[in-house]
Amino acid sequence: MVGIGNPLTLAQAEKNGEAAVALWGLAVEASAQDMRGVPADDILKAEPNFPQTHPDLGITVDGYVFPTSPAAVFAAGKEHRVALLHGNNARERIPGTNPPDDLKKAIADNDGPLADRAWALYSGTATDPSYGTPADQWADDTSFRCAAVAELAWHAAAGNATFEYEFARVPAGRESVGATHASELAYVFGTLDHGFVAVVGPPPSGFSATDREVSEAVQQYWTNFAKTGNPNGGKLPRWPKFDLSSHAYIQFTDASPGAKKNLRQPFCNLFMENVTRQMGK
């Protein structure tokens, strides 16, 4: 929603649709029935690398489903007044993309007048076992991580109950890649023994008692939130509300879930400043 490219206009989305139909070997005038008849294998073979060709993830301001940019709605406090549970994985990044080879150039291209400050932050940062190299950190911060923080801040500012998490649990066999995109799903749905989504890196070599404890806690929190709009309950460690002063969140890692504050604060503050600058253009 934030930081992944500008949403498409309806005209742009329609052009993308026409291009997709052509790749499937159909005429622009093809009917919906014709398109439904295209085998899934043919569609997948024709599809380019989606994240690289659709940095906006396909979000379209069509005047109906999305009357305006979702980010603009949240920034203005005009979203629905509902509780929000939102967060990211420690090594979150859009699947199919890679960290930049030239970090300084990537920052200059992305941050404009804030580039010097951003470069000072990232060039002075060491490789971290949870977050990777400075280039990894920048790629993660500017795709999902700090975008989640921005949305949480806007939602909390509008007076809504808001809860942030960071999933940092890494099962055996995946130490080299960390907690990547979608690696929390097996924990959330309790399917550790029935399949693990390894979008990046090798599959786990196995799951320990700690993995199962983390999964049980995650399931309880998520279920509580679905029922009441608050993840807390029972004997679970307290999950504090996210607020604008502390940016409190809970981290799922090797130990029992623990409450923390200000996830990547200097990096995400600069990200939010840059987003606000770009939205004001």
Query: Do residues 9 and 114 share a domain?
Result: no
Q: 30-58 burial, b for 16+ CB within 10 Å, e for fewer? A: beeeeeeebeeeeeeeeeeeebeebeeee
Query: Do residues 98 and 130 share a domain?
Result: yes
> End of a domain among 67, 102, 119?
67
Q: Where in the sequence is the domain holding 37, given as residue range(s)? A: 1-67
Which residues does residue 163 pair with via DSSP β-bridges, in sequence order?
85
Query: Do residues 54 and 99 share a domain?
Result: no
Query: Do residues 241 and 115 share a domain?
Result: yes
Lowest-pLDDT range of 21-25, 52-56, 129-133, 174-178: 52-56
**Among residues of the chain, what percentage have pLDDT more than 70?**
94
What pLDDT, in 10s, does the model give residues 209-249?
A: 999 999 999 999 999 999 999 999 999 999 999 999 999 99
pTM of the model: 0.89
Query: Do residues 112 and 237 share a domain?
Result: yes
pLDDT band for 51, please (50, 70, 90 cuts).
Answer: low
What pLDDT, in 10s, does the model give residues 76-102?
A: 999 999 999 999 999 987 766 789 999
> End of a domain among 44, 67, 90?
67
Q: For the chain, what is the mean pLDDT? A: 91
Query: For residue 55, what pLDDT is reported?
Result: 59
d(CA 236, CA 48): 44
Instruction: Please compute the mean of the pLDDT values over residues 187-195 and round it to a whole number.
Output: 92
Query: For residue 53, what pLDDT is reported?
Result: 59
> End of a domain among 18, 43, 67?
67
Query: Do residues 96 and 38 share a domain?
Result: no
CA angle 247, 145, 75 (to 5 degrees): 65
Query: For residue 1, what pLDDT is reported?
Result: 60
Query: Do residues 170 and 90 share a domain?
Result: yes
Number of domains in the chain: 2
d(CA 215, CA 221): 10
Query: For residue 59, what pLDDT is reported?
Result: 85
Instruction: Please compute the mean of the pLDDT values over residues 155-165 and round it to a whole number.
Output: 97
Which residues does residue 28 pair with via DSSP β-bridges, in sequence order?
none
Query: Do residues 27 and 154 share a domain?
Result: no
